[in-house]
Amino acid sequence: MPADATAISLTTNIAELRGVGDRRAAAFRRLGIRCVADLLLHLPLRYEHELPEQSIDLINQAVPPEHGADRNLAVRGEVLTTRSRGSGRKGRFEATLHDGTGTILLTWFNAPWMREKLHPGATIRAWGRAKRWGDYVQMTNPKWEMYEEESPPEGRGERYRPVYPGHEELPSATIEKAVDEILTPALEKLEDHLHADYRKGAALPPLRDAYRMVHRPEDEEEIRAGRRRLAFDELLLLQLGVMLKRRHRRETLRAPALKHHEGMDQHIRTRFPFPLTDAQNAVITDLVADLTRQEPMNRLVQGDVGAGKTVIAVYAMLMAVASDHQAALMAPTALLAEQHLLSIRRMLEGSRVRIGLLTAATKGAARQELLQDLAEGRIDLLIGTHALLTEQVAFRSLGVVVIDEQHRFGVHQRATIRAKSGDPRSAPHVLVMTATPIPRTLSLTVFGDLDTSSIRSLPPGRQPILTRHVLPEKAPDVYRYVARRIAQGEQAYIVVPVIEESAAGLKDVESHHRHLAQGQLSQARLAVLHGRIGRDEREAVMERFRAGSIDALVATSVIEVGVDVPNATMMVIEHAERFGLAQLHQLRGRVGRGTKKSLCVLIAEPTTEEGGARIDALVSTADGFAIAEKDLAIRGPGELFGARQAGVAPFRVADLPRDLELLRMARRDAEAWVRENPRLLGERDALLKKRLLKAHGKALGLGDVG
Ligand code: ADP
Ligand code: MG
C-alpha cells in the first residue's frame, strides 16, 4: 500500500490502492482494470446531474399549491416516519423527511425493498421530481443515498456525478471512490502526445485536463470538452494508422501502369449494349487516372443495387487485358460468379479475350488445366469466388482485381489477393465494388485506406419500386395478385428463409414451392433455386428464367446478389423479419431493373422492435445510402461490413455518426501529419507513435512502417 499519493504511478497495481483488497482487485479485473492507467481509462457512462440542496422550508414556499409542474429538487434530512401501503405491484412506501426547517413527503411506488432499507432516524439525501399534493410537497420515486458526514468535503452544491460501468460486486460508487484516490497523482504523470501548438489550433484541451473533465466535470461544457478531446484522440490514432499503412503501400509496392487511349476507350465501349450514364463515366474517369499510374489502385466504388457497376468492372478489366495483363473478378457466391461469367461472355462475344471460371466446384483435371492456363497467361480474365484466394492460384501477370460486393470480404482477403501477382514488390490494382453502401462514417474508418467513387444515379428509365408490408394471413391475396401479373407476362422471385423444413416452423423452398404450385400459382411455371443445387442445374434454371420460360423462382437468399433479369418485376419475401436490413435491400434490388413498374412485398409479422424497425425502414425508403445509415443506427457499427473482421478495436469514447465532424478533422489532420512526417520520426512525435503502435500496430500490420 503506497504511503502517500506521490507513490501512485500509472502502472501501480490496483490492489495497492487504499480501500482495495484482493477481493475488490479481482472485481476490478473483471472489468479489465489492473492498474491505475486502466482505471483512468475507465470512463463514466453518463452523469447524474445533482442539484444543490435546498431547505424544505424554502421548497414549501416555492412549490405552488395547485397543479404546479414537477420540479427538480434535492433535499437532505432525517427520516421521521416510514410506512408501507398496499402490496405487490400496487404497493407503495412512504417516508417523511425533516431537515429542521420543514417536512417533505417521499413516496416510492413498486419498491417493497425500501422497507428493509430505510428506517426512521436515518439521515439521507434525496433528489428527483417534486410536486405539491395538498399540504405536503411530495417527491415521487426520488433517488437517494445515505448521507455520510465525512464523504463530501465541499458540501453538496450542484454537480455532475459520474456513473461508471460496473457490476454487482463493483458498483459505480466504489469505482468513483477509487478514481478519487488516483486521479490527481495519475494525471500528474500523464504525458500528452499532442503538442501544445497543435492542440491550441484544434481547440483541444491538454490530455490531463480532458481526463479530469470527464471524470470530475464541473459543468456540462467540461463533459463535452473532455469527451471531445478523448474521442478525437481515438479517431486521430486510427486515421494515422490507416494513412501510414496506405503511404507505406504506395511507397513500397508497384502496380503495372496500364495503357489508355481514345481508341481503346472506344473499343471497350462498343462492347457495352448501352451508352454509359454520366455517373458511370465519372467513375471511369477516376479509375483511368488510377490505373495508368504505377501506384496500386485501392478504390471502392459504391453504387446502389442496380446502379450499373458491372460495366465499370469490365472496363477496368479490359484495360488490363489490352495492356497485356490479366484481370480477376471475385464474387461472394458461385451464383453471382456464374452470372457474371454469362453476362461478360455475352458482352465479349467474338473478341479474343479468354475467360475462365473458378469456384469451389472447379475440380480435378479441369481445375489443374485452368490453373496452368492462368499461370502461363492463356487466360486473360478469371471470374470466381473465394476459391481465387487459395494458394495454388497464381497468375502470370495480374493487373487488375475486382472484388464485387465488398461487404463479404474482410481486409485480410484483400491483402491475400493483392499478394497474388507473384512478385512481392508488385501488386495488382484493386477495385472494390459494393451495392450495400458503406455509411460515410465507416468508409472513413474501417475502409479509410480506400479511395472512393460513387455512382449516385441509376440508369435511365427506372421506375421506383413499390414496397409493401403485408401480414402473413394476407399472403394468399398477394399470390393471387402475383398470378395475375404473371398471366400478363411478368416474372417474380419468391424468397423464403430456409431450404428444408425446419423446427422453427419457417417456410422452406421445397414445401413452399409445392404449396404455391398446387395453390395460387398453379397456372405459373415455377422453379426452385438454392445453394444446394448443382452448378449445371442452377445455370440452366437461371437461363430459362432469363429467357422467360420460367415465370417465378422460389428461392433462398442466394439470389440476393448478382441476379439480373429486367423482366422480373415482383419480389415476395416470406418471413421478411428474419432478414437483415441490408440484405432485404439487396433482395429488393433484384426487381426494378427494367422499365416496368416493380413491386416488393414483405410478408412479415415482426415480433421484435428491431424487426419492425427494419421493415419500416425498407417500406419508407428506397435509397440504399439512407438504409445503410439506418442499419448502422439499428445494429451498431461493429456488426457491419466486416468492421469486426478488420480487427479494429471499438471506440471507447468516439461515437459515430455523432462524431462525424471530429472524424473529418482527424482525417484531414492525419493526412497532413503523414505527409509531413511519413514515419513519425523524431522526438516530437515519439509518444504519438508509441501510442499509435500500441493501439493499432498489430491489427493494421504497421510493424514495418516505422
Ligand atoms: P449493379 O451491379 O450495380 O447492381 P448491374 O451492373 O448489374 O448493377 O446493372 C443493373 C442493370 O442495369 C443491368 O441490367 C445493366 O445491364 C443495366 N445497366 C447498367 N448500366 C446501364 C446504362 N448506362 N444504361 C442502361 N442500362 C444499364
Ligand atoms: Mg453487381
Closest-lying ligand to the alpha carbon of 589?
Answer: 1
Over the Cα atoms of the chain, what is R_g? Answer: 32
The stretch 641-666 carries a mean pLDDT of 68
Query: What does the alpha-carbon distance between residue 313 and residue 287 come to, in Å, rounded to a whole number?
Result: 10
Q: Coil, helix or strand for 361?
A: coil
Question: Half-sphere exposure (CA, 13 Å, Cβ side) for 33?
Answer: 27
Query: What does the alpha-carbon distance between residue 165 and residue 222 come to, in Å, rounded to a whole number?
Result: 20
Q: Tell how strand 103-109 and strand 136-140 pair up.
A: parallel
Assigned C-alpha cell, 458: 441509376
Which residues lie closer than 8 Å to 523 by C-beta, 6 or more apart?
A: 483, 486, 487
Q: What is the pLDDT of residue 642?
A: 42
Which atom of ligand 1 lies at the shortest distance from residue 594's CA?
14
Q: Which residue has the higher pLDDT, 160 or 214?
A: 214
Query: What does the alpha-carbon distance between residue 328 and residue 388 come to, in Å, rounded to a whole number?
Result: 8
The answer to which of 212-226, 349-363, 615-629 has the lowest mean pLDDT is 615-629
Q: How far is the CA of 5 from the centre of ligand 1 (A)?
A: 68
The answer to which of 163-177, 237-251, 541-555 has the lowest mean pLDDT is 237-251
pLDDT at 461 over 60: yes
Name the residue with the closest Cα to ligand 1, atom 20: 308
Q: How far is the CA of 308 from the centre of ligand 1 (A)?
A: 3
Residue showing cell 429542521: 100
Assigned C-alpha cell, 28: 476490478
Q: How far is the CA of 295 from the centre of ligand 2 (A)?
A: 26
Q: What is the pLDDT of residue 451?
A: 84
Closest-lying ligand to the alpha carbon of 336?
Answer: 2
Q: Are 355 and 341 in contact (CB under 8 A)?
A: yes
pLDDT at 647 over 50: no
Pick the CATH number of 465-621 from 3.40.50.300, 4.10.520.10, 1.10.10.10, 3.40.50.970: 3.40.50.300
Using alpha carbons, select from 27, 289, 65, 356 the residue that is nearest to residue 164. 27
Residue showing cell 400496487: 90
Which of 295-309, 355-369, 622-636 has the largest mean confidence? Answer: 355-369
pLDDT at 637 over 80: no
Q: Residue 566: CB within 6 Å of ligand 1? A: yes
Q: How far is the CA of 309 from the centre of ligand 1 (A)?
A: 7
What CATH topology corresponds to 262-455?
A: Rossmann fold (3.40.50)
The answer to which of 330-334, 344-348, 599-603 has the lowest mean pLDDT is 330-334
Name the residue with the closest Cα to ligand 1, atom 10: 306
Closest-lying ligand to the alpha carbon of 312?
Answer: 1
pLDDT at 392 over 90: no
The answer to which of 99-108, 424-433, 466-475 has the lowest mean pLDDT is 424-433
Residue 165 β-bridge partners: none
Query: What does the alpha-carbon distance between residue 671 and residue 236 come to, in Å, rounded to a whole number?
Result: 10
pLDDT tens digits for range 301-313: 988 888 899 999 9
Residue showing cell 399549491: 65
Question: Half-sphere exposure (CA, 13 Å, Cβ side) for 614?
Answer: 24
Query: What does the alpha-carbon distance between residue 33 and residue 12 come to, in Å, rounded to a whole number?
Result: 11
Residue 388 backbone dihedrals phi, psi, to 5 degrees = -60, -20
For 237-291, give the secondary structure using H, E and C.
Answer: HHHHHHHHHHHHHHHHCECCCCCCCHHHHHHHHCCCCCCCCHHHHHHHHHHHHHH
Residue ranges covered by each domain of the chain: 52-157, 262-455, 465-621
Q: How far is the CA of 557 from the centre of ligand 1 (A)?
A: 21
pLDDT at 395 over 50: yes
Which of 285-289, 296-300, 331-335 has the largest mean confidence? Answer: 285-289
Q: Residue 585: CB within 6 Å of ligand 1? A: no
| Residue 519: CB atoms within 10 Å | 12
Query: What does the alpha-carbon distance between residue 587 and residue 561 come to, in Å, rounded to a whole number?
Result: 7
Q: Residue 435: CB within 6 Å of ligand 1? A: yes
Neighbours of ion ligand 2 (CB under 5 A): 309
Q: Which amino acid is at 632?
A: L
DSSP character string of 589-600: TTSS-SSS-EEE
Q: What is the pLDDT of residue 2?
A: 47
Name the residue with the closest Cα to ligand 1, atom 26: 459
Q: What is the pLDDT of residue 236?
A: 93
Residue 508 β-bridge partners: 498
Name the residue with the closest Cα to ligand 1, atom 25: 459
Confidence of residue 705 (pLDDT cuts 50, 70, 90): low
Q: Are 592 and 624 in contact (CB under 8 A)?
A: no
Using alpha carbons, select from 558, 603, 565 the residue that is nearest to residue 583. 558
pLDDT at 448 over 70: no
Q: Residue 308: CB within 6 Å of ligand 1? A: yes
The stretch 282-308 carries a mean pLDDT of 92
Assigned C-alpha cell, 168: 454487482
Assigned C-alpha cell, 15: 490492489
Q: How far is CA 427 from CA 102, 319, 400, 705, in A?
A: 81, 16, 9, 18
pLDDT tens digits for range 250-262: 788 899 999 999 9
Burial label, 66 (beta-carbon count in 10 A; 0-12, 13-18, 19+): exposed
pLDDT tens digits for range 201-219: 999 999 999 999 999 999 8
pLDDT at 151 over 60: no
Q: Residue 593: CB within 6 Å of ligand 1? A: yes
Pick the CATH number of 52-157 from 3.40.50.2000, 1.10.3210.10, 2.40.50.140, 1.20.810.10: 2.40.50.140
Which atom of ligand 1 lies at the shortest distance from residue 589's CA?
4
CATH topology agreement for domains 52-157 and 262-455: no
The whole-chain average pLDDT of the chain stands at: 87
Question: Half-sphere exposure (CA, 13 Å, Cβ side) for 397?
Answer: 13
Q: Residue 309: CB within 6 Å of ligand 1? A: yes
Q: Residue 303: CB within 6 Å of ligand 1? A: yes
Using alpha carbons, select from 183, 191, 185, 178 the residue that is nearest to residue 215. 183
Residue 10 β-bridge partners: none
pLDDT tens digits for range 543-560: 999 999 999 999 998 888
The stretch 343-359 carries a mean pLDDT of 95
Question: 678 preceded by cis ω (within 30°)?
Answer: no
Query: What does the alpha-carbon distance between residue 39 and residue 8 come to, in Å, rounded to a whole number?
Result: 12
Query: What does the alpha-carbon distance between residue 348 and residue 114 come to, in Å, rounded to a whole number?
Result: 79
Which residues lie closer than 8 Å to 572 by C-beta, 6 or more apart?
A: 478, 479, 482, 492, 493, 494, 495, 600, 601, 603
pLDDT at 189 over 50: yes
pLDDT tens digits for range 117-142: 899 999 998 988 888 887 788 998 89
Residue 69: DSSP 8-state: P
Q: Residue 91: CB within 6 Å of ligand 1? A: no
Q: What is the pLDDT of residue 68?
A: 59
The answer to which of 41-45, 244-248, 633-637 has the lowest mean pLDDT is 633-637
* pTM of the complete model: 0.67
Query: What does the alpha-carbon distance between residue 187 and residue 631 come to, in Å, rounded to a whole number?
Result: 39
Closest-lying ligand to the alpha carbon of 344?
Answer: 1
